[in-house]
Structure 1
Amino acid sequence: MPEDHAPHPTDRARLRRTNQRGSYDPASLYAMLDANPVCTIGYVIDGKPFATPTLQWREGSHVYWHGSSASRMLKKSLGQEVCLTVTCLDGWVLGRSAMHHSVNFRSAMLFGTAFRVEGPEAKTDRLKTMVDGFFPGRWDMLRPMTDQELKATAVFGMEIDEGAAKVRSGPPIDDEEDYALPIWAGVVPTRTEFLPPEPDPRNLDGVGLPDHVRDFRTG
């Protein structure tokens, strides 16, 4: 699928409220997915709703996630429509009234039909992309996966074809008359911070810290 494949704003994906904060172009959706590897997959099992957190990664116009081959979520979602969401919290917004408290955030909601990545080579390629996407070059320095490990791991994906990105940024938006009140208002910014790596106490002597760990970043 070409990189410029364009998701489309379907009726269920289109934002109804504060729609000025929404966008449907590939660049916006891709940016949201690339900024936060933690997602939630929503699906239905036997008529009942479930939502499961997991890791996701993007390759072009597809998004992938993985789990145990025995996972009920993955088995039941095969060939079914699922909803994938990601959210980044950027700040707490404090207004001059409770009504106008909010948060600054970046988010995306995608809809699609889940497919299973079949075959050991294709599955290995997807997993390698996931690992190297977070830590470039790490896959090739690891012990190769065994056949049993690969068999125990399922990789699913879906085309990024239907969805919306939504962003809220900036100061509070209060009622005009409230700006005259002597109440502090503003934003408490938040961010994800990566702390210094903590080595496994069972590392062998002389094993140094790889650059891809020292320089780890996401988004």
Structure 2
Amino acid sequence: MAKTKPSRYPSRGTEDKKTLHQIIDEGLFCTIAFVRDGVPHQIPTGYARVDDDIYIHASAKSHFIQGIIGQTVSFSVTHLDALILSPTAFDHSFNYRSVIGFSKVEEITDPAEKLKFFNLFTDRYIPGRIEDVGVPTNEEVSITKIARLSLNNAAAKVRTGDVNVKMEKDAPWCGVIPLEWKYSAPQIDNQLDRRRELPNYIKKLIDGFGKR
């Protein structure tokens, strides 16, 4: 795929579906890039994946989603995994995993399918939450637009490993500084009784983050 083939370090690129899905599933947001009235724009947004499609949503009044439905956009998901400290500033790098793709944006209009997405989206970020708060109302579903983007024209690029340049024994400190995301301690809203016990699904979410 010409649009998604890396021009630099092409060996780091892959269209392997397992790799694509893993990178996307571990991500928390994607960036949607598009052109409106000749001006480039980009919007970060949450998403959920089903097979080879990702789904996004926004208010039905959102100019963003109104403008991209039926149009071709570019989207990306990126994880920064480590800083790579080399003997020269020029050779410093990152370990990363990323996906970039292009897709025509298709609106989902069937109310039942939209409701299915709402449940999927909520449980994708907080598994078990939808059982606690209940499914969205018909009105909430009707005032929300949901769109689907295909992964059929997407590819991943991954950099792993150590410093990839030779160095003298007396070089400055070089090596890998790993990065990781984690949740901090939950803070209950001031409107609720602070003695309320934290739900098990939230405890499980925090304990399992980064192990998906």
SS in 2 for 1:215: helix
Task: Choose which of 163, 169, 180 in structure 2 pairs with 1:191.
Answer: 180
Query: Aligned partners of 1:67 and 1:204: how far apart in 2?
Result: 32
Equivalent position of 1:140 in the other structure: 131
Given that residues 34 and 42 in structure 2 are in contact (C-alpha distance below 8 angstroms), is that contact kept between their aligned partners in structure 1? yes
Task: Choose which of 32, 42, 45 in structure 2 pairs with 1:54.
Answer: 45
| Superposed CA RMSD | 1.7
**Percent of aligned pairs with the same amino acid:** 28
2:162 is aligned with 1:171: yes
Compare 144-153 and 16-25 and name the one that shifted more.
144-153
Query: Aligned partners of 1:187 and 1:198: how far apart in 2?
Result: 33
Query: Aligned partners of 2:29 and 2:188: how far apart in 1?
Result: 23
Equivalent position of 1:87 in the other structure: 78
Query: Aligned partners of 1:182 and 1:60: how far apart in 2?
Result: 47
Task: Choose which of 184, 192, 200 in structure 2 pairs with 1:203.
Answer: 192
Compare 121-130 and 196-205 and name the one that shifted more.
196-205
Task: Choose which of 28, 40, 61 in structure 2 pairs with 1:37.
Answer: 28
Equivalent position of 1:72 in the other structure: 63
In the TM superposition, what is the alpha-carbon distance from 1:206 to its structure 2 partner? 6.7
Q: How many residues align?
A: 208
Given that residues 86 and 92 in structure 2 are in contact (C-alpha distance below 8 angstroms), is that contact kept between their aligned partners in structure 1? yes
In the TM superposition, what is the alpha-carbon distance from 1:204 to its structure 2 partner? 4.7
In the TM superposition, what is the alpha-carbon distance from 1:149 to its structure 2 partner? 2.0
Given that residues 90 and 189 in structure 1 are in contact (C-alpha distance below 8 angstroms), is that contact kept between their aligned partners in structure 2? yes
In the TM superposition, what is the alpha-carbon distance from 1:167 to its structure 2 partner? 1.0
Task: Choose which of 19, 22, 25 in structure 1 pairs with 2:16.
Answer: 25
In the TM superposition, what is the alpha-carbon distance from 1:180 to its structure 2 partner? 4.5
Equivalent position of 1:182 in the other structure: 171
Query: Aligned partners of 2:135 and 2:56: how far apart in 1?
Result: 20
Q: AA paired with 2:203? A: R
Compare 209-218 and 118-127 and name the one that shifted more.
209-218
TM-superposition CA deviations, 1:109-132 (whole Å, max 9, x none): 011111111122111101100111
Structure 1 runs not aligned, ≥5 long = 1-9
2:88 is aligned with 1:97: yes
Given that residues 96 and 181 in structure 1 are in contact (C-alpha distance below 8 angstroms), is that contact kept between their aligned partners in structure 2? no
Query: Aligned partners of 2:40 and 2:83: how far apart in 1?
Result: 30
SS in 1 for 2:156: strand
Structure 2 runs not aligned, ≥5 long = none
In structure 2, relative to structure 1, the CA distance for the partners of 1:188 and 1:206 (3 Å cut) is: closer
Query: Aligned partners of 2:197 and 2:141: how far apart in 1?
Result: 28
Query: Aligned partners of 1:165 and 1:91: how far apart in 2?
Result: 17
In structure 2, relative to structure 1, the CA distance for the partners of 1:144 and 1:95 (3 Å cut) is: same
Given that residues 100 and 155 in structure 2 are in contact (C-alpha distance below 8 angstroms), is that contact kept between their aligned partners in structure 1? yes
Given that residues 23 and 165 in structure 1 are in contact (C-alpha distance below 8 angstroms), is that contact kept between their aligned partners in structure 2? yes
In structure 2, relative to structure 1, the CA distance for the partners of 1:180 and 1:132 (3 Å cut) is: same
Query: Aligned partners of 1:22 and 1:138: how far apart in 2?
Result: 36
